Amino acid sequence: SQRVVIIGAGIVGTNLADELVSRGWNNITVVEQGPLHMPGGSTSHAPGLVFQTNPSKTMTHLARYTVEKFLSIEKDGHKCFNQVGGLEVATTPARLEELKRKHGYASSWGIDARLVTAEECFKMYPHLSDMVLGGLHIPTDGLALAARATQLLIERTSEAGVRYLGHTPVTGIELDGRRVTGVNTPGGIIPADIVVSCAGFWGVELGAMVGVDIPLLPLAHHLPNGMNAELPILRHQDKGLYYREHGGQYGIGYYGHRPMPVVAASLGLTPKEVDEQNMPSRLDFTTEDFDPAWKESQKLIPALQDTEIADGFNGIFSFTPDGGPILGQPSHLDGFYVAEAVWVTHSAGVARALAQILTTGRSEIDVSECELSRFEEVQVNRDYVSETSQQNFVEIYDIVHPLQQRTSPRNLRVSPFYSRQLELGAVFLETGGWERPWWYEANKDLVKSLPPSWKPVGRDAWSAQVYSPISAAEAWKTRNAVAMFDMTAFHRFEVAGPGAVGLLQRLTTSDITTKPGTVTYTLLLNDHGTIRGDIFVLRLDDDVFQIGANTATDLAYLTREARVQEQNNPGKWSQVRDITGSTCCIGLWGPRARDVIAGISTVDISNKGLPYFSLKKTIISGIPVTMIRKSYVGELGWEIQTSAEYGQRLWDTIWQAGKLHGLIAGGRSALNSMRIEKGYRTYGVDMTTEHNPFEAGVSFAVDANKKDDFVGKAALQRLSSQPPSRRLRPLTVDDGRSMALGKEPVFYNGKAVGYVTTAAFGYTVNKPVAYAWLPGGLSEGETVEIEYFGKRIRATVQAESLYDPQMHRLTQ
């Protein structure tokens, strides 16, 4: 098999060696700068609390596998997981509500969890004071004995043939062109086909060896230490605290202190002799930072009032801009992978995911949200990483609304329409550094003139956050007159060159050898026939395409595939270029969209002149534009694209021309509602690499007659004959008002059977709408229940689309 070098013998590196060797790979070397019996990284002193439940399904499932695996690693009758259960307590009414939401996540992702009363908390944890109002108990949580697991994994993988080199720092990574060929150590070069950096918080330094920015920040974190618990692991998130009891002592972890960033390179080399007190990842305890935690702990557990702190230290581990781990490979290199910023909680899960990617091309748990390539260019510079990672440290236990915004860094990327949007009172939300209008205060007065069936209904306090009834007015105007939406932040790439047709023909499920001027909605699959992206392919010329994509990961994928194709066949090169920032785009949609354009252009925009899913390069009032006949809201109109320098003029021109026809500017909140009514999926939210096109309801994007082979074709043929065991289905809420926001569990006959992906109030259908993964056999008209903060909301399974299923609005 391939020669693999793993850098780092922490919990991630040793698990990866184990996952690979158990899949039959037999040429693996693990290189560790510290001594193998105690390497001295974060794992060497990790207290190993494993709370599995997370808002993210991916993270929860990575944790669940880690628990299963650690329970199976055993020696002398002792397991590496102490399943004492996890108890999260609430001392405020807001936290009590939050625990209900968390209970919902647990049900959605298949973790057994129970909301418990204050009395039950005291029974489980007799030392608690009466300030506790209630809790969430997860019986399968507990303590991972990470340092011990590391040692046992070293033992068992060594027996299986893995080579371990202790006291061996990697000082460089060898490359032949773009291909990794080995690692450099003081003892010489170790040749390799695949190098995986599992270097923990040293990841930045390892990445720098091959010119890869690793967006993680090492931070010091307080921990008085200990072992062998019997009581559940405990979280008191209202004060940023967690606890593990160990035979009359407590280990107390605290996230309430100031962030303390560390530069790994400044820590010096790992000493020859590492022990509990002396390791690079362990800094001196800063008592003054711990004082508030100590006071709060004495309030929560009064028995601590008569005790003293026995021992403490500041341990170092990694934080990232979005709090997720970093997994995958950079697009410009072959054979270099990373698995970093990984907690013990997710360690075995991440290691298995990477082993599956290396051996089969796909992880069974979707890890798109962990991809190294998920970050935009602006998000990997050190200033951004430092500021946002520190924020994540501070907010780690906060109650965070799904739409909550950071206040800094902001205004990193704005579209050319930004100043006009400010004049219209846009309320901006940020994604990928882009400022995107959510609604416009300028449309406030329209709310009063809404017809009764469009009047927005009242909301509960949670779903009323980051919400305005103005969105209802913006949707109403779009459906009944015309609105313009800023579509600039959607990723646009150009794929051009003699290899472009072949590349896209091989990667997509559609025949893209159509004539220039056509638009195709298509899927990117993996070899297993599941979905790795959905894109629009716009054929601009014989060898020039524009791609409308979802994420920076799509760019990395296309770039890599183009490069590999060129390596194999130099004549078939193609250039993949991100043109998102150099262009801009207005979605002009609504029944009166044609009237607006007719006033400023003589171009034939009739249904015949520019049919649905076609495009035209033309001029509007002297501005060169591309008009693309497609819609994200299900209405007549176009995405009108131009290069950035003409953007403001284009906005002003359309705005002026639209006045006659009632044109307004609309925000993403209204757009999202209309998207869901129309049934348009969002990749990464509604469907992921865990789903195939049949169950996700996008098999219409697979061309059954496509002659050329494409990635996933063979697997799709197999899948097409199996009835889907689950399906993504639209639901409408029966009472017409109770909101869901996404990720809530769905119950059928009292049993949790699925979960909501996205949800919004559907202003046109005048009900909340949710998309949910449900058992394949559930038919339309069946009643299910969505659990929202512990309350069950009745909803009905519907047919698609809820809005204009015949597509009359789009094709007139």
Binding flag, residue 259, ligand FAD (CB under 6 A): no
Binding flag, residue 198, ligand FAD (CB under 6 A): yes
CA distances from 642 to 509, 583, 723 (A): 28, 6, 44
SS3 state at 731? strand
- Look at the block and give the residue holding tokens 């595939």: 561
Binding flag, residue 293, ligand FAD (CB under 6 A): no
CA distance 587 to 630: 9
Which of 6, 25, 48, 243 is in the footprint of ligand FAD by CB under 6 A?
48
Which of 86, 134, 200, 433 is in the footprint of ligand FAD by CB under 6 A?
200
Longest dimension (CA), the chain: 85
Task: Name which of 674, 693, 673 is nearest 683 in CA terms.
Answer: 693
Closer CB to ligand FAD, residue 199 or residue 301?
199
Write the burial class of residue 683 (CB in 10 Å: 0-12 exposed, 13-18 middle, 19+ buried). Answer: buried
Q: Which residue in the list 65, 125, 164, 242 is annotated as catalytic?
A: 242
Task: Name which of 82, 61, 81, 77 is nearest 11 in CA terms.
Answer: 81
The span of 48-56, 353-361, 678-686, 756-764 binding ligand FAD (CB under 6 A) equals 48-56
Closer CB to ligand FAD, residue 7 or residue 746?
7
Looking at the DSSP bridge assignments, the partners of residue 537 are: 520, 547
Which of 240, 315, 328, 349 is in the footprint of ligand FAD by CB under 6 A?
315
Binding flag, residue 240, ligand FAD (CB under 6 A): no
Left (φ > 0), alpha (ψ -120 to 50) or beta: where does 547 sit? Answer: beta
CB of 21 closer than 8 Å to CB of 356: no
Kindly report the CA angle at 637 between 631 and 638, in degrees rounded to 5? 70
Structure tokens at 468: 């305005």
Which of 87, 195, 304, 316 is in the footprint of ligand FAD by CB under 6 A?
316
CB of 32 to ligand FAD, least distance (A): 5
Binding flag, residue 325, ligand FAD (CB under 6 A): no
Closer CB to ligand FAD, residue 158 or residue 682?
158
Binding flag, residue 199, ligand FAD (CB under 6 A): yes
Looking at the DSSP bridge assignments, the partners of residue 440 are: 426
What is the crossing angle of helices 57-72 and 93-109, to 10°? 70
Closer CB to ligand FAD, residue 35 or residue 433?
35
Structure tokens at 115: 């909301």
Binding flag, residue 202, ligand FAD (CB under 6 A): yes
- Tell me, yes or no, if 543 is annotated catalytic: no
CA distance 677 to 681: 10
SS3 state at 353? helix
Which of 4, 21, 28, 49 is in the footprint of ligand FAD by CB under 6 A?
49
**Number of residues binding to ligand FAD, judged by CB under 6 A:** 41
Which of 4, 16, 28, 42 is in the footprint of ligand FAD by CB under 6 A?
42
Question: Which residues, including other chains, have CB under 8 Å from residue 583's CB and lie 6 or more apart?
Answer: 488, 492, 641, 642, 643, 644
- Tell me, yes or no, if 213 is annotated catalytic: no
CB of 505 to ligand FAD, least distance (A): 40
Could you write out the three-class secondary structure of 473-508? HHHHHHHHCCEEEECCCCEEEEEECCCHHHHHHHHE
Binding flag, residue 345, ligand FAD (CB under 6 A): yes
The span of 295-303, 311-319, 515-523, 687-695 binding ligand FAD (CB under 6 A) equals 311-319
Closer CB to ligand FAD, residue 7 or residue 489?
7
Binding map of ligand FAD across residues 158-177, x = CB under 6 A, - = no contact: -----------xx-------
Binding map of ligand FAD across residues 102-141, x = CB under 6 A, - = no contact: ----------------------------------------
Closer CB to ligand FAD, residue 186 or residue 750?
186
Binding flag, residue 10, ligand FAD (CB under 6 A): yes
The span of 25-33, 297-305, 649-657, 766-774 binding ligand FAD (CB under 6 A) equals 25-33
Handedness of CA 603, 606, 608, 613 (dihedral sign): positive
Binding flag, residue 343, ligand FAD (CB under 6 A): yes
The span of 16-24, 341-349, 661-669, 692-700 binding ligand FAD (CB under 6 A) equals 341-349
Binding flag, residue 46, ligand FAD (CB under 6 A): yes
CA distance 554 to 684: 12
Q: Which residue in the list 221, 222, 257, 691 is annotated as catalytic?
A: 221
Give the Cβ contact number of residue 676 at 10 Å.
Answer: 27
SS3 content of the chain, % helix, strand, coil (to 5): 30, 30, 40
Binding flag, residue 337, ligand FAD (CB under 6 A): no
CB of 337 closer than 8 Å to CB of 372: no
Binding flag, residue 47, ligand FAD (CB under 6 A): yes
| One-letter identity of residue 144 | A
Handedness of CA 539, 540, 545, 550 (dihedral sign): negative
CA distance 320 to 346: 15
Closer CB to ligand FAD, residue 197 or residue 689?
197
Closer CB to ligand FAD, residue 121 or residue 146?
146
Q: Which residue in the list 486, 534, 554, 686 is annotated as catalytic?
A: 534
Handedness of CA 54, 56, 60, 63 (dihedral sign): negative
Kindly report the CA angle at 98 between 92 and 101, in degrees rounded to 5? 155
Which of 95, 103, 137, 221 is in the footprint of ligand FAD by CB under 6 A?
221
Which of 4, 5, 6, 12 is in the footprint of ligand FAD by CB under 6 A?
12
The span of 88-96, 312-320, 512-520, 736-744 binding ligand FAD (CB under 6 A) equals 312-320
Binding flag, residue 33, ligand FAD (CB under 6 A): yes
The span of 42-50, 751-759, 773-781, 801-809 binding ligand FAD (CB under 6 A) equals 42-50
Write the burial class of residue 342 (CB in 10 Å: 0-12 exposed, 13-18 middle, 19+ buried). Answer: buried
CB of 771 to ligand FAD, least distance (A): 32
Torsion angle in degrees (nearest 10) through CA of 500, 501, 505, 508: 50
Closer CB to ligand FAD, residue 66 or residue 583?
66
Binding flag, residue 326, ligand FAD (CB under 6 A): no
CA distances from 15 to 153, 369, 644 (A): 7, 21, 48
Which of 35, 41, 182, 432 is in the footprint of ligand FAD by CB under 6 A?
41
- Tell me, yes or no, if 242 is annotated catalytic: yes
Structure tokens at 65: 């596998």
Which of 107, 108, 270, 614 is in the footprint of ligand FAD by CB under 6 A?
270
CB of 101 to ligand FAD, least distance (A): 22
CA distance 102 to 253: 21
What element of type H or E holds 25?
none
Q: State the catalytic residues.
A: 221, 242, 534
Residues found near ligand FAD in the complex (CB under 6 A):
7-13, 31-34, 39-43, 46-50, 146, 169-170, 198-202, 206, 221, 223, 253, 270, 315-317, 342-345
